[in-house]
Structure 1
Amino acid sequence: MKKLFVLNGGAAVKPGNKSAFLKIDDPLSTFARGGINTGDVLVYDAMLKALAYDQITNVQFAHAADEKLWPTDDYDATVIRGSNYLTETVDIGNVIPLLKKLKGPIVPVGVGAQAAKYKKLEMPKGSIEAWKIIADKCETIGVRGVYSAEVFNDIGIKNIRIIGCPSFYRNLRPSIEIKPLDPANARVGLTLNKYLSADYASNATKTNRMQRALIEAVAKRPANRLYSQGEREETLAIFETGEAKQKHIRSILGKYNLEGDKDVEALMSERMQAFFDVDEWAADARDNVDVLVGFRLHGNVIGLHQGIPAVFFTYDSRIRELSTLFAIPSVEIEDYMPINLEKIFESADFSKVQHVYRLNYAEYHRFLTENGLNHVLAKPVASPPEQPLVKPNLVKIDQTTEEVTDWFRGEVDFMTSEIETLRSRAWNLELKLREKTSPDAGAKLAS
């Protein structure tokens, strides 16, 4: 019997050990407590599909200090589910005692750095020590892209392979064929992320304003749909009814200043979906969308691995390095230009994606093999890349002067309104402070 120990899998496993899902009996009570990123479940699911083990045991990083959860038997291998572990704020030092105790290889699959922009990271000492222990216990560490590799190199870890994210290879095939796209009539699947700031957006204002414009554009096509990738309010809006449902929808609309937009209200009321089972999520995308766009990494990958074209909106290091590695067409939020779906789809160049996928798949195959992991990947049809891609495949759109002028006029009006609102709030606060600190304030209170 081949046994696999997993660190930070983050989901339940179906019988047969080939699929991951979130076991949620009551979505309303679960998401009332907070959101759950179902993209992490997709990563775990893809790893399970690629690996072949009879017994799987998981311990989350958050519980790794609890020795009662440590394995008592010997395992053939340990894998770490890829995620954004390389940051200036995430410290995995609590996992060190378990890492030292584990026997056999410890193989991280798809580790990534997280920052608003490419920069040198000052990682916590606990994380640095933990990753050095892991590096000594594996042949290579699988990382998401060039930037993540550079972050490891900065802390002295050089035994890495740039494999991307396991979710890209979920179909287990050595090649993919991107389906043709009808720009004018394509059914669009959209994902959003309302909480992009700090390490998750190089410019939060531009990111949120471009999300707003994208929502408006997608909502105009009645066959389009919106996927919640575990966001709290969106998921609650799907499972709630009546006034409770409308309350959540109004909150989402308010976040994007879209109150009163009937098209967007209809999109969120009637065509918003959420899935806790990755197999079901993938099937829905396969059957109902022709192209995916949006601000969630795995909200696009759920289609890409099935050959459904996708366009990324890039706003942080993670999205930029992965879309670059796979030559996926991307719209850079820093360019801050108007959204025209048809023009974006017409201009998106998918010609490189199929070729680059074959090369990256070969590198993933080599990575799993050299680390001694028991896997079921088919033999590659190409050799690994000599060098990973470093130049993004940006979507270049010919905008008319009128389109650009209208866009920036509207944005200037919005920003001006926001500035006036902030000035008014600041003035009201100053008046209240004056009342409390004026010489008469004490006398008024005494009387």
Structure 2
Amino acid sequence: MKVLVVGLTPEYYSSSVRTAVSDYQASMRSTNMGASFITRSIISIFGADYLDIASEFDVTKIRNNYDVCIVSLASHFGPNRNVSQLVKFLKSVDLRTVFLSGGLDAGQDGSNNVHGSVRELLELCSVDNNWIGVRGAASALYLHRQGIENVVPIGCPTMYSNFAGEIQPSGIESPRDIAVPFHWSIAVNLLDELCDHRLIGQDVMDEELFLENKSARLSRNISEHLGISKNEAQSKLEYAVSSGGFFPESYQAWYQEIGNQKALLSGRLHAAICGLTQGVPTVLSSWDIRTREIVDYFKIPSASGEQIRKEGSLSAFMNADFEGFNERQNVCWGRWSEFLNQNNIANNSKVYDSSVGPFWNFKTELQNDNEILKTASYLKSENKSGQSRQINRALRVLKRGLKSTVRKTRL
């Protein structure tokens, strides 16, 4: 089976290119190493080719050379993400299309509908009752509530780029043993010990800080959250970056830098996954719905911002649940394999031995999730955020089902 990948570019693009391309090209450019990681993972898993649809292409050759198209997106579920050019391309080539990479947009609480073009994209991907795979239960419920069916949580495909086996933190004795993939939210909670860590930049905002010493915007965010002066926040931030900051010159340099660390306390979702898939003990500081649903799905070791701020980085590792993550891996890989099987996609990845866990029941698991989420979608919201007591109850039922599967894999 020959696979074509479209969507986010596999190459990282610095901020300078954003003024030199079309609006659509800019929306698909990976100005975050994590976005590159998503598409590169999909390409690797399926032995696929990537096509930039803003470039010239031959529709006939695409139809003749490929059997299926996989869409690589990230946080695109919300009212403002326009993918109409992507939809236009998919209609023109008329290939079977699979959606297995996407989730709620930043700042979404589920109260706004998805953009019309994203709905159209998902409808294309669900032809002939194909399953739609999303990052977590929150994203799946968000789509179900808008009448989009056959949607199940499967996590992010980056986690299936490599199977590193069980992960156990050891020999972590001081903050200097812990590198920090940088995000302003984790800088808020680690500000006083930030200079003790290796800081790893990841996106165009980090570029401004790490390479150009432009800290005004991030310093303002930090000062507002901590109630300190902007000058104090700026001074501590700039000193920490000058002491231990690293911004990679390429995606490959970012990937290797993450993998070379002894431990990671990450403010970045995909840096955390990049570390875990390379066997690096990693704790993720989840700060929005995008990270929380991934933490819930994969059972990624996590620490709250409050805990980090009050107790420091070492406490995050002392209290993290790595055992839960290790046990959960079998379940997630089993669900991923069954999702691909249900969508008739050959998995070219050889990184995981499927005999590790009993996967014969995962078709039922996915079907049950779909029915629970569909039922929960009928319930009315009781507050502005759209998270009613009944819906929360339904999501707890879903989580209990996942825990039951974990217990089965132990037997």
* Shorter-chain TM band: 0.7 to 0.9
Q: For 1:264-291, what per-residue CA distance to the aligned partner results, in whole angstroms no more than 9, with x for missing partners?
A: 544312422223544432322222x222
**Aligned ranges 1:327-346 → 2 under 5 Å:** 327-333=299-305, 338-346=310-318
For 1:348 and 1:76, the matched residues in 2 are separated by 43
Q: Does 1:227 align with 2:217?
A: no
* Aligned equivalent of 2:52: 59
Secondary structure in structure 1 of the residue aligned to 2:323 = coil
Work out the number of aligned pairs and report it.
347
For 2:87 and 2:321, the matched residues in 1 are separated by 45
* Aligned equivalent of 2:60: 72
AA in 2 matched with 1:346:
M
TM-score where L is the length of structure 1 = 0.67
Q: For 1:209-232, what per-residue CA distance to the aligned partner results, in whole angstroms no more than 9, with x for missing partners?
A: x6323133232x2xx211111133
Q: For 1:270-329, what per-residue CA distance to the aligned partner results, in whole angstroms no more than 9, with x for missing partners?
A: 422223544432322222x22222322112122111222222222221111001111123
* Aligned equivalent of 2:114: 123
After TM superposition, give the deviation of residue 69 of structure 1 in Å: 4.0
Q: Does 1:92 align with 2:68?
A: no
AA in 1 matched with 2:174:
A
* Aligned equivalent of 2:174: 184
TM-score where L is the length of structure 2 = 0.73
For 1:250 and 1:129, the matched residues in 2 are separated by 40
After TM superposition, give the deviation of residue 49 of structure 1 in Å: 1.7
The answer to whether the 8 A contact 1:110-1:165 is kept is: yes
For 1:298 and 1:323, the matched residues in 2 are separated by 12
Q: For 1:111-144, what per-residue CA distance to the aligned partner results, in whole angstroms no more than 9, with x for missing partners?
A: 2122536434322333323321221167222211
* Aligned equivalent of 1:215: 191
Cα distance, 1:82–1:349 mapped onto 2, change above 3 Å:
same
* Aligned equivalent of 2:45: 50
Cα distance, 1:278–1:172 mapped onto 2, change above 3 Å:
farther
Q: Does 1:312 align with 2:304?
A: no
For 1:127 and 1:32, the matched residues in 2 are separated by 25
Structure 1 residues without counterparts, runs of 5 or longer: 12-20, 195-207, 240-244, 394-447
Cα distance, 1:355–1:282 mapped onto 2, change above 3 Å:
same
AA in 1 matched with 2:40:
D
Q: Does 1:382 align with 2:353?
A: no
Q: For 1:128-177, what per-residue CA distance to the aligned partner results, in whole angstroms no more than 9, with x for missing partners?
A: 2332122116722221111111122122222233210011122146x443
Overall identity of the aligned pairs, in %: 19
For 2:402 and 2:267, the matched residues in 1 are separated by 16
Cα distance, 1:170–1:390 mapped onto 2, change above 3 Å:
farther
Q: Does 1:291 align with 2:263?
A: yes
For 1:337 and 1:276, the matched residues in 2 are separated by 31
* Aligned equivalent of 1:15: none
* Aligned equivalent of 1:166: 157
The answer to whether the 8 A contact 1:5-1:77 is kept is: yes
Cα distance, 1:192–1:31 mapped onto 2, change above 3 Å:
farther
AA in 2 matched with 1:78:
C
The answer to whether the 8 A contact 1:9-1:81 is kept is: yes
The answer to whether the 8 A contact 1:249-1:269 is kept is: no
Query: Rg larger in 1 or in 2?
Result: 1
* Aligned equivalent of 2:7: 8
Cα distance, 1:227–1:71 mapped onto 2, change above 3 Å:
farther
The answer to whether the 8 A contact 2:181-2:271 is kept is: yes
After TM superposition, give the deviation of residue 390 of structure 1 in Å: 7.4
Structure 2 residues without counterparts, runs of 5 or longer: 21-25, 224-229, 370-397, 404-411
Q: For 1:307-356, what per-residue CA distance to the aligned partner results, in whole angstroms no more than 9, with x for missing partners?
A: 22222222221111001111123234488962522222211221100110
For 1:270 and 1:45, the matched residues in 2 are separated by 31
For 2:44 and 2:17, the matched residues in 1 are separated by 27
1:371 corresponds, among 307, 321, 343, to 343
* Aligned equivalent of 2:254: 281
